[in-house]
Amino acid sequence: MHDEPMENDNRWPVRPILLAVVGALACLAIQQIGNGDGGGAAQRALMAAIATGALGFGFTAERVRLAWAVIFAAIVAAVTGLVLWWSGTPGGGVWWAGGWSDASLFVAIAIAAPLFQTARDQGQAAFPYHEVHAHVWTNIVLWCASWAFVGVTLALAFLLSALFELIGIALLSDLLRKEWFMALLIGGAFGSALGLFREREHVVRTLRRVVTAVLSVLAPVLGAGLLLFLLALPFTGLGALWEATKATTPILLVCAFGAWVLANTAIGDGVEDEATNPALRWGAAVLGAVILPLAVIAAIATGLRIEQYGLTPERLWAVVFVAVAIVMGLAYWIALARRRLRWAEGARPANLRIAFAVAGIALFLATPILSFNALSVHDQVARLDAGKVTPDRFDWAALAFDFGEPGKRATQKLAKSTTPQVAAAAKKALAAKDRWALAERQNTVERASTLAKRLRILPDAVALPPALQEGLADWNACGSGDRVCTVLWHPGDTEAVSISGTCAIDAGQGDKKIVARSDCAIAHLVKQGDQWKVESAGAIGDLSDGNRAGVAAALARGDVSIRPVARRQAFVGEVPVGDAFE
């Protein structure tokens, strides 16, 4: 077994107190800045700089070369703050507007930390693989364990507050309602936990070895599953992947990432640390081999989506992830081809080289030098101009709200288009309060465009106004799926009735009792301004089997009408009260 960097005498009794103070003050500062009136890029950048700087110091600080850790934390904070300030406030009102760029920055920092820790231990820019590997897994364990400690601390605090409230002392309860106190508590708990765990090296080593040992046992399981999946593809065809889900690329990339993680838990940080069990060794080799084909299939899926629907920031990030997976898969294939079951000897240095490359690429992509929003806007507008997508099927919600400032500028420009349909759609996008209302509007238009295939119009097969078709697209009106929808409407009327389904009786099978289908519903639509709204809707229920059979037969022959019905109702004075009755 390699001598691990944590096995040295690195005890530093003051560390838990120091990190508790750093964590508490950092969280308090973030909370106070977050409650300010400023907002915007500068506030966001300062908060992130404080958080990453404190975490960088907490994970890397040692008595040995303490100044190095201070400098590293300062550099991390400065880079984080400058990059986020440079990037500005994320555009759009959705979580992914700036999420991937921020995640890219934090991935770069997470990779840089164990590399720095190794160089610090070596006292120079040297990176023995076993030390880098040990620091990576140690940092992961420390991160998870520290947050678990925070959870326990909060639970204990709320329990004690409830206990003291029983005797009329509400001091702790009142403090827990204060945001500044919660910030101090969370930051102090995380920092103290990080310090305490780092002072107990044997506990961390044991946790790390348990985690990697347990995960390595899963290597043959995942390897067998992914191998069977790839062997089945020639028989099912890739078309089944596109038909099953729109999330083909994410699923494949997660599988590739899982294969990489489990393969590395099995091969360990050196020859002495490799799994000796044949099932684990072969499982790790299979996992190393399947990463490339999974990445290639993900690349095909991403390419098809881009060809069909154009570029979006999410698809461009998918291209980046796929490229990294392909490079990793190629490196592992080369290692397998050269060394076969000794492939780990080639995989480990490949991991280290790829780590440096990914950290650099991630940091670059976190900056606004290459704007995925601008690239996506240019491509989507070009598709619209070229007629590859019609104005009514164009994703205006994404352009106006998801693509940041480039998308907003493009929407404003399209609102001045000489094409009436484009200009009208762009103006509606600009007038929308949020992306959700606009997206729902677009979904309604798309559903209306496919509704004509299952519409049956009575008493005459006349063309319906587009606004009425959009109203019928409401799931309360014509439902969803491929069920026939009967519409009773006369040209010029301001109301209509829709009946979704056939109201037929499902006779079941064998000796099963006859049961009525539940997909028969009726809706009353009324024109309000230039839109049609569902006034009332509900299932056609409370019918006997005989009556339901009669309804189904009449509906099939088109015997549908609206008639006045006399009802009785109670009056108090001249005011009607209660429901009408027969």
pLDDT in tens, 330-374: 999 999 999 887 898 899 999 999 999 999 999 999 988 888 999
Band (465; pLDDT cuts 50, 70, 90): confident
Dihedral angle over CA of 344, 211, 294, 341, nearest 10: 20
Give the residue from 418, 419, 375, 427 showing the smallest Cα distance to 400: 427
Q: Which of 129-133, 228-232, 339-343 has the lowest mean pLDDT?
A: 339-343
Q: How confident is the model at residue 16 (pLDDT cuts 50, 70, 90)?
A: very high
Provide the pLDDT confidence category of residue 240 given band limits of 50, 70 and 90: confident
Mean pLDDT (whole number) for 391-403? 86
Q: How confident is the model at residue 92 (pLDDT cuts 50, 70, 90)?
A: very low
Sign of torsion over alpha carbons 100, 106, 112, 118: negative
Q: What is the torsion angle, in degrees rounded to the nearest 10, for the CA atoms of residue 546, residue 552, residue 553 and residue 557?
A: 160
Residue 511 in this model has a pLDDT that exceeds 70 = no
Could you tell me which of 417, 499, 507, 513 has the C-alpha nearest to residue 458?
499
Report d(CA 98, CA 108) in Å as an integer.
16
What is the pLDDT, as a whole number, of residue 142? 94
pLDDT range class, residue 320, cuts 50, 70, 90: very high
Strands 521-528 and 531-539, by their bridges, are: antiparallel
70 versus 13: the higher-pLDDT residue is: 70
At 474, the pLDDT band (50, 70, 90 cuts) reads confident
pLDDT band with cut points at 50, 70 and 90 for residue 262: very high
180: confidence class by pLDDT, cuts 50, 70, 90: very high
Question: Which of 98-102, 137-141, 339-343 is least confident?
Answer: 98-102
- In the chain, count H helices and then E strands: 21, 9
The Cα–Cα gap between 543 and 142 comes to 64
Instruction: Provide the 3-class DSSP secondary structure of residue 275.
Output: coil
Contact residues for 164 (Cβ-Cβ < 8 A; gap 6+): 170, 171, 172, 173
The count of residues in the chain is 582
Helix axes 344-366, 248-267, angle to 10 degrees: 130
Average model confidence (pLDDT) for the chain?
86
Q: Whole-model pTM above 0.85?
A: no
Query: How far apart are alpha carbons 324 and 256 in whole angstroms?
Result: 11
pLDDT confidence bin for 506, thresholds 50/70/90? low
Burial group, residue 521, by CB count within 10 angstroms (0-12, 13-18, 19+): buried
pLDDT of 96 reads: 37
The per-residue pLDDT for range 404-437, each reduced to its tens digit, is 889 999 999 999 988 888 998 899 888 888 777 7
Confidence tier at 244 by pLDDT (50, 70, 90): low
pLDDT of 1 reads 47
pLDDT at 468 over 80: yes
pLDDT the model gives residue 98: 55
Strand runs (DSSP E) across 235-384, as ranges?
none
Model pLDDT, residue 91: 53
pLDDT for 84 beyond 50: yes
In tens, the pLDDT along 305-317 reads: 999 889 999 999 9
- Is the pLDDT reported for residue 448 higher than 60? yes
